[in-house]
Chains A and B, each alone.
Chain A
Amino acid sequence: MSEPLLPPIGMLAELTHRCPLQCPYCSNPTELLKANRELDTQSWLDLFDQAADLGVLQVHLSGGEPTLRRDLEQMVAGLSARGVYTNLITAGVGIAEGRIRALAEAGLDHVQLSIQGARAATTERIGHYRGGHEKKLETARRVRVAGLPLTINAPIHRHNIEEVPEFIELALSLGAERLEIANVQYSGWALVNRDALMPDRASVERQIEVVAQAQERLRGIMNIDFVTPDYFATYPKPCMGGWARDAFMVAPDGTVLPCHAAHTIRTLTFERFGERSLADIWTNSPAFNAFRGTDWMQEPCRSCERREIDWGGCRCQAMAIAGDPAATDPACIKSPIHARMGMLVADAMAAAKAETAGNATAEPFVYRRITTVSEPAS
């Protein structure tokens, strides 16, 4: 390693894979873990303590649906006692009355609520959950009443990209400080459903325009973060801020990973918390060290002036599309197979055409559920 190893700042804790919703773009792995594989309360508390010792300042409590863990208040209280900033990432359905207030009292700092559509029918269709939209709006209200700041997360794909202007109005009306217009990242279930989710270029360009104008208009009123669509990009995103550079995630069974899709790189082995300490995994795990810094890079990344800006992009996307986790992210214009991104978009557009021509009653995508769908090989 050329640079010194820094302590991690952020941790994403996927407390459970259980979720009442079935979003076809879910970033969870296609092989979902059942409840009996989840870490128990004490293990999570120990893990959070070790994370704080190691230098973690922010923990994102996610899932699945994290509020399905009845011990969530205990975890928030534990983190809060250590001064760690806690962010609850929730789908906002099935949360008992009084729970948000209890979490706020336990020390919760912020809530990020995902909404699948700006229109009720879209939310219900994408999440495959009747009445979901109203419940989410109610959760948003409870968050505000509890005095917590609110981010609305809007995952964007072909079936709701035209609703972006309405998402902006909705987030404003809910009193959100922040709105994430997050174009779906094609890993996990989204990769299975890529052909059914990919938007067309014209819609993407319209969306970029709408978001830029709203950012300008709403300066100082609501922050809008834009997660760009990789398949239409010129340069890749600095995935996770660089592999194992300042953040990591933990799966429900305690497996510690540099990002939520890292398990798709089958040549790597990931350690579980409990068998080894968090500090040991962060420092010594061969999987964490595999793509740290810039030493592992091949050309064109190796000599590129952007190598410490985007860190070569996403390793899992390189794996999924180039078949080599050490390749340049194909989202990059300098990648020798960058053109493949355009071909994959074209494939999806052909699928979209067939979809409108065919049976209109069947959904074009596979809903997320505990079953045996495997991620497509490249």
Chain B
Amino acid sequence: MSTPRTRAIVSQDARPTLPHHIRIQFDPVRQAWAVLSPERVFWPNDVSLDILRLCDGRSTVAAITDRLAAEYDADAKDVAADVHDFLQEWTDKLLVKL
């Protein structure tokens, strides 16, 4: 496992994945999904959670966008922008790998 020494930029054909040290986990005490990372715990909302779950290293950003647009019955363009911004933010925090 080596850290990328250049910034990864989200593109439509990138295949995002969660690094080994980032875990999505259901917390029975709080009855909520948590994302565990080295120093922080995140409590993603439903949409963010759905994006993260689709980061399986096989699906492209375009495929993730299509899936979510279908599931949420939403405009693909809006979804694309949201997915892109979310993934770039999480990639910049090194919580998602491209």
Contact = CB atoms under 8 A, between A and B. Distances in A.
Interface of A: 7, 9-10, 53-55, 57-58, 83, 85, 87, 109-110, 112, 144, 147-149, 151, 172, 175-178, 219-223, 225
B38 A110 contact: yes
B45 interface: no
Interface residues of B, number: 26
A35 to B, nearest CB: 29
Contact of B29 (A7, A151, A172): A7
Contacts of A9: 41
Contacts of A176: 3
Contacts, number: 69
B36 A219 contact: no
Interface string B76-98: 00000000000000011110000
Interface of B: 1-8, 19-21, 23, 25, 27, 29-30, 34, 36-39, 41, 91-94
Contact of A144 (B1, B21, B38): B1
Contact of B20 (A7, A147, A178, A222): A147
B5 to A, nearest CB: 6
A221 B4 contact: yes
A223 B21 contact: no
A178 B34 CA distance: 21
Nearest to B8: A220
A110 B21 contact: yes
Contact of B1 (A7, A109, A147, A178): A147
B30 A178 contact: no
Given A55-B30, A147-B20, A222 B41 contact: no
Given A85-B37, A175-B2, 11 more contacts: A7-B29, A53-B29, A55-B30, A57-B36, A109-B21, A147-B1, A148-B21, A149-B21, A172-B5, A219-B92, A220-B94
